[in-house]
Amino acid sequence: MNQGLMSLIRGGLIAFAPEDEGAGGGDSAGAGGAGEENAFASSLTGEGFADFAKEQGWNSADDAVKAYQVQRAGLEGMIKVPGEDASDEDRAAFAKALGVPDTEDGYQFSLPEKMPENVQYDENLATSFKAKAKEIGLTPAQAQALHDFQMEAVGTQANAFLEGQKQAEAEKTAKAEASHDALVKAWGKEGSESYNKNLALANRALSKMVPDGKLMEEFKSNGVFSEDGAVLMPHFAQALAGIGQTLYSEDGDLDGDNQTDENPWDADTFNLTKQGEIYKANPEKAERLKAAAKAKRK
Supply the pLDDT for residue 29.
41
Q: 3-state class of 109 per DSSP?
A: coil
Supply the pLDDT for residue 138.
92
If one compares 285 and 62, the residue with the highest pLDDT of the two is 62
Range 118-126 average pLDDT? 83
CA 44 distance to own-chain centroid: 65
- Which residues make beta-bridge pairs with 225? 231
pLDDT in tens, 54-109: 999 899 989 888 888 888 777 666 667 777 888 888 788 887 888 899 888 899 88
pTM: 0.45
CA 167 distance to own-chain centroid: 16
Q: 3-state class of 47 per DSSP?
A: coil
pLDDT in tens, 136-181: 889 999 999 999 888 888 888 888 888 999 998 898 889 889 998 9
Spatial distance between the Cα atoms of 173 and 179, rounded to a whole number of angstroms = 10
If one compares 297 and 242, the residue with the highest pLDDT of the two is 242
The per-residue DSSP string of 239-277 comes to HHHHHHHHHHGGG----TTS-----TTSSTT--HHHHHH
- Identify which of 255, 256, 253 has the alpha carbon closest to the alpha carbon of residue 264: 253
Supply the pLDDT for residue 37.
66
Spatial distance between the Cα atoms of 62 and 293, rounded to a whole number of angstroms = 128
Supply the pLDDT for residue 76.
64
Give the amino acid at 165. Q
- Identify which of 167, 162, 169, 168 has the alpha carbon closest to the alpha carbon of residue 117: 162
The CB-side HSE value for 37 (13 A sphere, CA atoms) comes to 3
Radius of gyration of the chain (CA): 47
- Identify which of 65, 21, 15, 19 has the alpha carbon closest to the alpha carbon of residue 40: 65
Spatial distance between the Cα atoms of 155 and 120, rounded to a whole number of angstroms = 9
CA distance to 27, 28, 176, per residue, from 31 (Å): 7, 5, 97
Identify the sign of the CA torsion 204, 206, 207, 208.
Answer: positive
- Identify which of 238, 125, 119 has the alpha carbon closest to the alpha carbon of residue 183: 238
Burial-class residue 108 by CB neighbours within 10 Å (0-12, 13-18, 19+): exposed
Supply the pLDDT for residue 264.
87
* 182 and 222 Cβ atoms separated by less than 8 Å: no
Range 239-268 average pLDDT? 68
CA 55 distance to own-chain centroid: 56
| Per-residue confidence band for 222, with pLDDT thresholds at 50, 70 and 90 | confident
Task: Pick left, alpha or beta for residue 57 (phi over 0 → left; psi -120 to 50 → alpha; otherwise beta).
Answer: left
How many residues does this entry show for the chain? Answer: 298
Give the amino acid at 226. S
